[in-house]
Amino acid sequence: MARNRRRNQRQQRGAAAEVAQNHLIDILSNPLDHATDVVDSAAVHLMKVSRRHRLSLPQHSRHLVCRKCWAAHSLPGRVRVRIRLGQRTTTCLKCGTIRRFGGGPKHHRLQRGEL
């Protein structure tokens, strides 16, 4: 009996953490609907909740927060985004961290126009 109770409590805690994570992602997805300090606080809390409960960030929300300084990238003027040869390079303007998304150039493949 005690094992089932502990398992149910653990599942409920995980479900509550996912609900909180989704609520914070909604705040970060619509930053103009909230104050700047609320969006910054949501970014920090999103990272804390995700790490505390060992939850990975959903694929569509990984670009919303800087992994180093936990700054919200959804606010204008916080991030520089450059796209070159299919690779998105994101630079945090608060701490200077650079992240690259996408495969980027594949030098072993033929480039366009090289047939």
Please state whether the predicted TM-score (pTM) of the whole model is above 0.85. no
Answer for the pair 28, 42: CB distance below 8 angstroms, yes or no: yes
What is the four-CA torsion angle of 28, 88, 93, 33, rounded to 10 degrees? -20
pLDDT mean values, one per 10 residues, the chain (115 residues): 77 92 95 94 95 92 93 92 90 94 72 58
Tell me what pLDDT residue 109 has.
65
Across-strand partners of 91? 80, 98
Q: What is the pLDDT of residues 42-72, one digit of tens each?
A: 999 999 999 999 999 999 898 999 999 999 9
pLDDT of residue 6: 79
